[in-house]
Amino acid sequence: MTTTASKSGTFSLGGDLPVNRLGYGTMQLTGEGVWGDPKDPAEAVRVLRRSVELGVNFIDTADSYGPVVAEQLIKEALHPYTDDLVIATKAGLTRTGPGQWHPVGRPEYLRQQAELSLRNLGLERIDLFQLHRIDPQVPLADQVGELALLQQEGKIRHIGLSEVSVAEVEAAREVATIASVQNLFNLTDRKSEELLDYSTEHQIAFIPWFPLATGALARPGGPLQEIAARLDATPSQLALAWLLRRSPVILPIPGTSTVAHLQDNVAAAEIVLSDEDFQALSAIGS
């Protein structure tokens, strides 16, 4: 029987939007440097369709992936959407070329990008709209305040933040309800642990990007190999299983551009780590 993402458990995003915790991130569906079209557009469409077949109902994207390429691929592959599919997108980073990212948080820009994302995704309302980066040139209250206005107008359902500190989340929560945060976090990079603990306490979804960074830990003969062999799992699957076990608010969004790798990632939902294995993984990754 094929493993489905539903075996990862569920989380209620914003308190009213249930999703399977193991999701899919679309950044790798674009060209090199997250710029332009994918080398194999047909495979990109297959990946998106297969993800939904495997029970993934939380897909994370951004207007800057391509730019717009990832959002348009989602629409091509999955529109009209099923009622349970939750699509999260982001605005606040503009692009000047491959690998180049620049924060822009002016309210009129964020509004423009929200309108474009609605069009590119074929949606009447975006389930989760995230500020991709805080623009240091614009007051945070103005950036989050514009998202709150879009929410009041019914154009977005929930508001999220990306790459933020606990203090920044608390400041944003003075302006609007924050449903999610998205920071770099994985087995080997836990600088955002304080934010994860804060999110767990306040039932804020924590979406770790770059969740599979096992690096040297995954090398043949490396520290992950013994546990992986015993559980008949890959190091990447263990990294995802560790995240799912670490906190009930974590929603991992591993990305890939191939169906085979997608299926391998989703199979992580079936791995049950014992207390001893979880502690061993925590120790070798710290």
To the nearest 10°, the Cα dihedral for 12, 14, 15, 18? Answer: -30
The dihedrals phi and psi of 211, each to the nearest 5 degrees, come to: -75, -10
In order of 26, 67, 70, 115, the CA distances from 78 in angstroms are 13, 19, 12, 20
The encoded tokens of residue 187 equal: 């087995």
Strand-strand pairing, 156-162 and 126-131: parallel
Active-site residue, from 65, 81, 109, 198: 65
Tokens of residue 87, six digits: 């699509």
Q: Which residue has the tokens 């299983």?
A: 241
Largest Cα separation within the chain, whole Å, is 55
* Residue 285, SS3 per DSSP: helix
Q: How far apart are CA 98 and CA 102, in angstroms?
A: 12
- Catalytic site residue 65? yes
Helices of type H across the chain: 41-53, 69-78, 107-121, 140-152, 166-173, 193-202, 223-231, 235-246, 259-266, 275-285
Question: What residues are paired with 59 via a beta bridge?
Answer: 24, 87
Angle 196-149-163 from CA coordinates, rounded to 5°: 25
Residue 122 half-sphere exposure toward CB, CA atoms < 13 A: 12
By annotation, the residues acting in catalysis are: 65
